[in-house]
């Protein structure tokens, strides 16, 4: 593999790991990982971990893992936090699969190649709004309380950790890899068992995990946090979602508090384990509203307040890229197919203004070395108490970091005042302005490359030393005043290249005053220091910069919509970059030539000493129309093969059935999606009602037929939630037996299709929630003695256990491409039940463009749900009237030639034509650089 990577590197196909300068395959270099009360260290060097959560299982296309990881790295993140999903890899006890889209070894190699640290979070429990909170559904049939030291559960989770831990272990920083920390369990907060917490850590150590073990305490609350006592971890962290999750009301801030991460141990760094980076959309408001609730102004105020308020040096934001809960991945209570999360990178892999804000903060946090070791310090006093200040300082360099915001962070007005600031280089009266819902971190006493920054009222984006000079980018809000003071031994020469910047020198301080607008450029030279190019921008112009590490040090790029990678080769700078429109690109690097995505770009040298060229944008794309639909009907409980006799009389579930036999799908090995039931009995002719109960999880439903005659449908129920009273009669449906349907002494057949949703999570670690059954809970037709059979999904080795359920068409492979041609045209009307539709389409988007495509649902009356199969992959479930209309079709699954199959489960029948759908492009980028 290493050789393979080296060859790709030579071909310029992958980024060189930041650590290795030459193309020769080096033996993996082992490093030492340590920590103290300030930060993690690698070989004694302090690390600022700025990480975001990414779920490989929500992006079933490994080629796109690299795309997202490159976007994450480009924003200045130094790490990613990765849950590993037990249920995604394990269809049955003892069976584990790490191939294809489940190849986490490949994922960890990518993080290694990209130089991103990894916080590995294998659970065993992960929550994450995914089915069973990451537990495989077969665990529901195992005796012993999940998330405890009970023997049944212990044997089960040891199996999982025994598989996943060795994979994680071989990718640890200590073995030349990327994994820098190991998260034991997940928000293990109530109903806890310290023996279990101890044992999973013992197993991690036995499996070769030697990096620090961390934990994420729930919600900054007084719940078990594992900072001391039996089961304690080395670095206890804190999860915090200060905005909570009401996306319908994005203007209301701080529902869940102030959001400053608590210090849980004196000998370990403060770790903001899951800091809110978006929100689940339980209200169905749409993810754009969630993006607003957790938008750039929230990020400025809360993230900066947290950094200075807590002194944390380990941050991870949940989610950074949410992705898609495709197939049967969603947990039923809070989410639907899309797990976009209102995150900085959208489900369709687009970059948002939140991404820009992350980049501004990440570049700052990771550029400013003194931030990795700070203590609380006296803050400059504002003349107006309408401004709040708080400070930290590095005890060695004395560099100060001052938070400036409103006392109540929700305040929506602008205030201007003066700070009485004792900086390491003298006392100053410093004018500052705080806009509504804004916060800044100002710096004083900082060695900026070869310069001495006394203080600035602008924020620092980043700085690099390149080509014998310092280049620094500072920024402020458009239209705000800024002042930057630098120290010199003698008067330096100041040349304003662009913008309106006034300068004065008082014998030691050079003071620059300006209004933030566009991008001002000032060249300072002499004064006993190396030259400095100061770029004074706004939020927007600062966000156009990309800082990239090369073998010859960092370089800056201004422009393009994404720089994925930069390499210096002699006097040639080679970039891999994306554009969403034609435009300029400017590079600050020791180079004379520019190559972008393998093409030579004509450039000229600017007065700023940079190279300026222009790049093309993407060509417009036209997506094909979806026409020529073909049809197949799925009659109720059709086909005589594959049925399992359902005759169990006991269950491991704490929820006991209303009638026997036990009809829970999991008891018969059918864990995900739709199941069909067949109930055969001999009628006595007096039966009046078919009485059923089904537990499906929120949002499920069932359809009922008697002797082939449709009786109707009902909503599936939920039951025995730990925080809700037990419902004795969940998902009840009573259906009148139509006259003449049942004849005394004649055989009769009840057919029931139950659409089960995902499995409940186990946040409360008490089994009643997690082990809640799926499927029929009670069934009676008069006094008839019913012989039951059940039929669910068949295994799909390629797509994994969560892809398909037990529709007849799924068992027959109707969702898979190929097979005999479908000849029938859709009929004009269909009965209630399951109808299948199929069409094919070609996608001929330009090879050097990244087009992100989605399937969009139009309006149609009726009560139905649609399972979307693209080339056999279940890309989600559309529910009529539901909040989600666009279903992202990830490249990789989406190919140039495609088969789209829709399984429509309708409770009321009606039009036979397929529901209206079309293909839409959610993103279009020119990107020779995406591999
Ligand atoms: C916390 C979980 O750790 C994480 O898995 C995910 O569920 C997230 O929240 C919400 O999206 S749970 C906490 C908010 C109670």
The C-alpha angle 892, 898, 899, rounded to 5 degrees, equals: 120
Q: Are residues 402 and 521 in the same domain?
A: yes
- Has residue 273 been placed in a domain? yes
Q: Which domain CATH number covers 919?
A: 2.60.120.260
Q: Are residues 680 and 761 in the same domain?
A: yes
Same domain for 411 and 478?
Answer: yes
- Ligand 1 within 6 A of CB of 187: yes
pLDDT at 534 over 70: yes
Please write the tens of the pLDDT for every residue from 603-644: 999 999 999 999 999 999 999 999 999 999 999 999 999 999
Please work out, in degrees rounded to the nearest 5, the angle formed at the alpha carbon of residue 621 by the alpha carbons of 617 and 624: 170
The best mutation among 274, 723, 761 to test binding of ligand 1, ranked by most ligand atoms within 8 Å of the C-beta, falls on 274
Ligand 1 closest atom vs CA 133? 5
Tell me the mean pLDDT in the region 501-530.
Answer: 98
pLDDT tens-digit map of 837-884: 999 999 999 999 999 999 999 999 999 999 999 999 999 999 999 999
* Ligand 1 pocket, residue 281 CB under 6 Å: no
Nearest to 627 by CA among 829, 840, 844: 840
What whole-number distance in Å separates Cα of residue 179 and Cα of residue 161? 16
How many angstroms is it from 556 CA to the middle of ligand 1?
A: 36
| Residue 240: both structure tokens together | 């915090």
Does residue 168 sit in helix, strand or coil? Answer: helix
For residue range 471-500, what is the model confidence (pLDDT) as tens digits? 999 999 999 999 999 999 999 999 999 999
Rounded to the nearest angstrom, the distance between the alpha carbon of 894 and the centre of ligand 1 is: 31
Number of other residues whose CB lies within 10 A of the CB of residue 261: 24
**Within a domain: 620:** no
- Ligand 1 contacts CB of residue 280 (under 6 A): yes
The pLDDT of 352-363, averaged and rounded, is: 98
73, exposed or middle or buried, with CB in 10 Å at 0-12, 13-18, 19+?
buried
Mean pLDDT in residue range 37-49: 98
For ligand 1, say whether the CB of 241 is within 6 Å of any of its atoms: yes
Are residues 569 and 691 part of one domain?
Answer: no
Give CA torsion, residues 856, 858, 863, 869, to 10 deg: -30
Q: Is the pLDDT of residue 266 over 50?
A: yes
Q: How far is the CA of 19 from the centre of ligand 1 (A)?
A: 34
Q: Is the CB–ligand 1 distance for residue 340 below 6 Å?
A: no
Q: Are 279 and 236 in a shared domain?
A: yes
Residues 40 and 173 in one domain: yes
Residue 274: CB within 6 Å of ligand 1?
yes
Q: State pLDDT tens for residues 553-591.
A: 999 999 999 999 999 999 999 999 999 999 999 999 999
CA distance 703 to 754: 7
Name which of 146, 3, 128, 163 is nearest 53 in CA terms: 128
C-alpha 128 – ligand 1 centre gap (Å): 6
How confident is the model at residue 27, as a pLDDT? 66
Of all protein residues, the one whose alpha carbon is nearest to atom 5 of ligand 1 is: 128
CA of 478 to the centre of ligand 1 (A): 36
**Has residue 840 been placed in a domain?**
yes
Structural tokens at position 733: 């449906």
pLDDT tens digits, one per residue of 692-711: 999 999 999 999 999 999 99
Cα 823 to its chain centre, rounded Å, is 41
How far, in Å, is the centroid of ligand 1 from the Cα of 86?
Answer: 17
- Whether the CB-CB separation of 713 and 907 falls below 8 Å is answered with yes
> 178 CA distance to ligand 1 centroid (A)?
24
* Residue 315: inside a domain: yes
Euclidean distance between CA atoms 239 and 259, whole angstroms = 9
Q: Assess contact for 911 and 860: CB atoms under 8 A.
A: yes
| Residue 642: per-residue pLDDT | 97
With beta carbons less than 8 A apart as the criterion, state whether 703 and 864 touch: no
Ligand 1 atom closest to Cα of residue 341? 11
Residue 159, domain extent: 3-19+30-351
Q: How many domains does the chain have?
A: 4
Which sequence positions are flagged as catalytic? 187, 274
Of all protein residues, the one whose alpha carbon is nearest to atom 6 of ligand 1 is 128
136 exposure class (CB count in 10 Å sphere: 0-12, 13-18, 19+): buried
Tokens of 489: 């031994």
Q: What is the DSSP letter of 95?
A: B
Q: Which residues pair with 913 in a beta bridge?
A: none
Could you tell me the pTM of the whole model? 0.96
Q: Is the CB of 183 under 6 A from ligand 1?
A: no
Any ligand 1 atom below 6 A from CB of 343:
no
Q: What CATH number has the domain bearing residue 295?
A: 3.20.20.80
Which atom, in ligand 1's list, is nearest to the CA of 83? 5
Answer whether 536's CB lies under 8 Å from 515's CB.
no
Helices (H), 170-302: 194-206, 287-293, 296-298
395 and 475: one domain?
Answer: yes
Spell out the SS3 assignment of 823-878: CCCCCCEECCEEEEEEEEEECCCCCCEEEEEEEEECCCCCCEEEEEEECCEEEEEE
Q: In whole angstroms, give the CA distance from residue 606 to residue 258.
A: 46
Asked whether residue 24 is domain-assigned, the answer is no
Residues recorded for the chain: 931
- How many A from CA of 609 to the centre of ligand 1? 48
> Which residue has the CA at smallest separation from atom 4 of ligand 1?
128
- Shared-domain flag, residues 595 and 697: no
Split at pLDDT 50, 70, 90, the class of 722 is low
Residue 4 pLDDT class (50, 70, 90 cuts): very low
Q: Which of 82, 241, 343 to mutate to test the pocket of ligand 1 (most atoms within 8 A of CB)?
A: 241
State the residue for tokens 């399937």: 855
Q: Is 239 in the pocket of ligand 1 (CB under 6 A)?
A: yes
Residue 573 CA to ligand 1 center (angstroms) comes to 43
From the CA of 216, give the closest atom in ligand 1.
Answer: 3
Domain shared by 460 and 336, yes or no: no
Same domain, 780 and 835: no
Listed residues 751, 766, 791: the one ending a domain: 791
Are 322 and 339 within 8 A, CB to CB?
yes
Same-domain status, 760 and 703:
yes
Q: Is residue 292 part of a domain?
A: yes
Ligand 1 pocket check for 128: Cβ under 6 Å = yes
Q: Please tell me whether residues 345 and 208 are part of one structural domain.
A: yes
Substitution candidate for ligand 1 out of 225, 318, 331, 334 with most atoms within 8 A of CB: 318
By CB atoms closer than 10 A (0-12, 13-18, 19+), residue 434 is buried
The owner of tokens 């007065």 is 607
Nearest CA owner, ligand 1 atom 9: 128
Instruction: List, for residues 269-306, the tens digit of each pLDDT value.
Output: 999 999 999 999 999 999 999 999 999 999 999 999 99
What percentage of the chain reaches a pLDDT higher than 70? 96
Q: Give the number of the atom of ligand 1 that is nearest the alpha carbon of residue 334.
A: 11
- Looking at residue 653, its pLDDT comes to 87
Residue 416's SS3 state is: strand
Q: What is the pLDDT of residues 728-771, one digit of tens each?
A: 899 999 999 999 999 999 999 999 999 999 999 999 999 989 99
Q: Does a cis peptide bond (omega within 30 degrees of 0) precede residue 901?
A: no
Mutate to test the pocket of ligand 1, among 84, 124, 187, 242 (most ligand atoms within 8 A of CB): 187
Considering 615, 645, 668, which residue would you say is the last residue of a domain? 615
**Percent of the chain clearing pLDDT 90 (strictly above):** 94
Residue 426 lies in a domain: yes
User: Is the distance from CB of 849 to CB of 621 less than 8 angstroms?
Assistant: yes
Is the confidence at residue 11, as pLDDT, over 50? no
List the Cα angle 532/535/537 in 5-degree steps: 160
887 and 875 Cβ atoms separated by less than 8 Å:
yes
**522 is written with which tokens?**
């000032």
Residues 6+ apart with CB under 8 A from 305: 258, 259, 260, 390, 403, 405, 409, 439
Q: Which of 791, 818, 852 is at the close of a domain?
A: 791
How many CB atoms neighbour CB 846 within 10 A? 12
| Residue 621 within any structural domain of the chain | no
CA distance 682 to 742: 9
Q: pLDDT tens-digit profile of 554-564?
A: 999 999 999 99
């Amino acid at each position: 593999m290493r050789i393979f990577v080296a060859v790709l590197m030579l071909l310029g196909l992958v980024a060189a790991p930041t650590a290795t300068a030459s193309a020769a395959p080096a033996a993996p270099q082992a490093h030492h990982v340590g920590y103290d009360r300030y930060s993690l260290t690698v070989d004694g060097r302090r690390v600022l971990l700025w990480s975001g959560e990414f779920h490989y299982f929500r992006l079933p296309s490994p080629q796109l893992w690299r795309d997202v990881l490159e976007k994450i790295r480009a924003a200045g993140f130094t790490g990613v936090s990765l849950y590993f999903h037990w249920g995604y890899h394990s269809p049955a006890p003892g069976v584990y699969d790490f191939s294809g889209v489940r190849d986490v070894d490949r994922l960890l190699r990518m993080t290694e190649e990209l130089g991103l640290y990894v916080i590995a979070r294998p659970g065993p429990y992960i929550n994450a709004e995914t089915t069973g909170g990451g537990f495989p559904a077969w665990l529901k049939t195992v005796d012993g309380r999940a998330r405890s030291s009970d023997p049944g559960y212990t044997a089960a989770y040891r199996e999982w950790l025994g598989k996943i831990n060795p994979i994680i272990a071989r990718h640890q920083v200590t073995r030349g890899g990327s994994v820098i920390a190991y998260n034991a369990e997940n928000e293990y907060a109530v109903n806890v068992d310290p023996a279990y917490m101890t044992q999973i850590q013992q197993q991690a150590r036995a499996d070769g995990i030697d990096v620090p073990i961390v934990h994420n305490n729930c919600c900054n609350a007084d719940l078990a946090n594992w900072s001391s006592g039996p089961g304690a971890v080395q670095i206890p962290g804190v999860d915090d979602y200060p905005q909570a999750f009401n996306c319908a009301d994005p203007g209301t801030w701080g529902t869940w508090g102030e959001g400053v991460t608590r210090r849980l141990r004196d000998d370990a760094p403060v770790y903001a384990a899951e800091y809110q980076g978006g929100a689940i959309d339980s209200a169905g408001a749409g993810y754009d509203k969630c993006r607003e609730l957790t938008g750039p102004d929230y990020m400025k105020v809360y993230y900066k307040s947290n950094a200075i308020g807590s002194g944390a040096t380990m941050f991870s934001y949940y989610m950074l890229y949410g992705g898609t809960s495709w197939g049967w991945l969603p947990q039923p209570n809070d989410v639907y197919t899309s797990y976009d999360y209102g995150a900085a990178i959208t489900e369709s892999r687009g970059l948002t203004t939140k991404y820009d804000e992350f980049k501004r903060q990440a570049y700052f946090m990771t550029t400013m070395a003194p931030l990795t070791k700070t203590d609380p310090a006296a803050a400059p006093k504002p003349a107006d108490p309408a401004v709040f200040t708080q400070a930290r300082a590095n005890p060695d360099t004395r560099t100060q970091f001052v938070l400036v915001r409103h006392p109540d962070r929700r305040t929506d007005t602008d205030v201007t005042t003066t700070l009485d600031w004792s900086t390491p280089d003298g006392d100053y009266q410093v004018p500052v302005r705080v806009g509504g819902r804004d916060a800044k971190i100002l710096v004083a006493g900082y060695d900026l490359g070869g310069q001495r920054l006394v203080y600035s009222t602008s924020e620092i984006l980043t700085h690099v030393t390149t080509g014998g000079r310092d280049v620094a980018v500072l920024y402020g809000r458009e239209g705000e005043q800024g002042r930057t003071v630098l120290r010199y031994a003698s008067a330096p020469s100041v040349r304003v290249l662009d913008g309106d910047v006034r300068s004065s020198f008082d014998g030691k301080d050079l003071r620059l005053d300006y209004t933030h607008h566009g991008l001002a450029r000032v060249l300072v030279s002499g004064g006993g220091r190396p030259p400095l190019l100061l770029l004074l921008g706004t939020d927007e112009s600062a966000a156009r910069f990309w800082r990239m590490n090369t073998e010859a040090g960092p370089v800056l790029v201004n422009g393009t919509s994404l720089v994925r990678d930069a390499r210096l080769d002699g006097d040639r700078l080679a970039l891999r970059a994306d554009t969403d429109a034609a435009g300029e690109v400017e590079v600050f690097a020791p180079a004379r030539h520019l190559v972008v995505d393998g093409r030579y770009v004509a450039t000229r040298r600017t007065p700023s000493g940079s190279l300026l060229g222009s790049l093309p944008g993407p060509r417009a794309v036209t997506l094909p129309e979806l026409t020529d639909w073909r049809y197949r009907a799925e009659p109720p409980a059709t086909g005589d093969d594959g049925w399992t006799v359902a005759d169990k009389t006991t269950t491991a579930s704490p929820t006991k059935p209303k009638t026997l036999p036990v009809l829970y799908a999991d008891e018969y090995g059918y864990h995900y999606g739709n199941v069909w039931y067949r109930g055969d009995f001999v009628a006595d002719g007096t039966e009046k009602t078919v009485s059923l109960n089904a537990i499906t999880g929120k949002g499920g439903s069932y359809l009922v037929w008697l002797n082939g005659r449709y009786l109707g449908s009902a909503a599936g129920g939920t039951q025995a939630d730990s925080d809700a009273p037990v419902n004795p009669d969940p998902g009840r449906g009573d259906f009148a037996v139509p006259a003449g349907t049942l004849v005394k002494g004649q055989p009769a057949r009840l057919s029931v299709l139950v659409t089960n949703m995902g499995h409940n999570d186990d946040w409360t670690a008490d089994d009643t929630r997690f082990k809640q059954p799926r499927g029929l809970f009670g069934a009676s037709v008069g006094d008839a003695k019913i012989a039951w059979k059940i039929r669910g999904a068949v295994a799909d080795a390629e797509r994994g256990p969560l892809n398909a359920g037990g529709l007849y068409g799924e068992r027959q492979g109707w969702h898979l491409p190929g097979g005999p041609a479908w000849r029938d045209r859709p009929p004009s009307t269909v009965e209630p039940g399951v109808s299948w539709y199929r069409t094919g389409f070609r996608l001929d988007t330009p090879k050097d463009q990244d087009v992100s495509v989605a399937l969009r649902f139009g309006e149609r009356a009726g009560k139905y749900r649609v399972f979307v199969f693209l080339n056999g992959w279940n890309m989600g479930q559309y529910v009529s009237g539901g909040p989600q209309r666009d279903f992202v079709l990830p490249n990789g699954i989406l190919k140039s030639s495609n088969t789209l199959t829709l399984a429509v489960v309708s409770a009321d029948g009606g039009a036979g034509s397929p529901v209206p759908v079309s293909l839409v492009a959610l993103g279009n980028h020119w990107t020779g650089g995406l591999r």
